[in-house]
Amino acid sequence: MADLPALSNAALALDGRVATLTFQRDDMRNALTGTEIAVDIVTTLNWANTCADVSVLIMTGEGSAFSAGGNIKTMSARAKESPHVLAQYYKYGVQKIPLAMQAVEIPVIAAINGPAIGAGFDLANMCDIRIGSTNAQFGETFANLGLIAGDGGGWFLQRMVGYQRAAELTFTGRIVKAEEALSLGILLEVTEPDALVARAQAMAAKMATKPPLALRYSKRLLRLAQQQGLQEHLDTCSSYQAICQKSDDHQEALAAFFEKRSGVFKGR
């Protein structure tokens, strides 16, 4: 069993090759500021990159919310700081999350149990797949408070729903409920609240049966494809494919296919 990192405001569990990170500050609706949840997220993502025993990560919230984003109660006090201090606050605080989310090498599934608002919505959008309960709600609500998405939320949102819809959600700051989120492509699936985590775990478990190296390289390629030109991407594919074809897991996958059995993969 892999050693799990020490966290302050979240719980991390590893079952098979599936890790589940549960935010545990329901008293603050799992806000990303004013708690240690942001630190816990970055710590977990860095751990996942170096832990050969994990293939998929699920993120979810304990209590009524997935994450309320920023802590509104602390915003007035923070506004008294100089612009330089505020810029550093974002750079070395919440902005570490999108950088870590872009760098994480395994699939990340958001199991969205309740409202994901502001930076909480942006966090969900940074994940590869989003499954929501019927209690899930979403809002790019920064403009309602005279703010912008300081965590880079606009970069992720338009890549997910397109520029026009991202603009509408950003400029109106309106709340989107689960069924509309499904129709917009924000959510892949909607479940009843008591079935949410089980559904996310079932999806993650299916992914975790795949050869670990192939899963990690596939994740890298999907991320790189958002930024690369075709020729550059094809060159990267050639290199990654060569690595995968020389792996023990590839040989095991071929043997399992011909022998009509499940593969036993070791991530090498």
For residue 203, give both structure tokens: 């999806």
Q: How far, in whole angstroms, is CA 172 from its chain's centroid?
A: 25
Per DSSP bridges, beta strands 137-139 and 115-117 are: parallel
Coil/strand/helix, residue 31: coil
Torsion sign, CA atoms 43, 48, 53, 57: positive
- Residue whose entry in the numeric block shows the structure tokens 């959600």: 169
- Residue whose entry in the numeric block shows the structure tokens 């509408």: 168
pLDDT number for residue 1: 59
Give the list of residues 6+ apart from residue 78 with CB closer than 8 angstroms, or none: 86, 89
pLDDT number for residue 93: 83
Torsion region of 19: left, alpha or beta (phi above 0 gives left; psi -120 to 50 gives alpha): beta
pLDDT number for residue 71: 80
Torsion sign, CA atoms 93, 175, 62, 197: negative
Coil/strand/helix, residue 226: coil
pLDDT number for residue 107: 98
pLDDT in tens, the chain (268 residues): 579 999 999 999 999 999 999 999 999 999 999 899 999 999 999 999 999 999 999 999 999 999 999 887 777 777 778 888 888 878 888 899 999 999 999 999 999 999 999 999 999 999 999 999 999 999 999 999 999 999 999 999 999 999 999 999 999 999 999 999 999 999 999 999 999 999 999 999 999 999 999 999 999 999 999 999 999 999 999 999 999 999 999 999 999 899 999 989 988 8
Q: Structure pTM? A: 0.94
Single out the residue of 205, 212, 209 nearest to residue 267, CA to CA: 212
Q: What domains, with CATH codes, occur in the chain?
A: 10-208 (3.90.226.10), 212-258 (1.10.12)
155 burial level (CB within 10 Å; 0-12, 13-18, 19+): middle
Beta bridge pairs of residue 11: 22
* Backbone φ and ψ of 234, nearest 5°: -65, -40
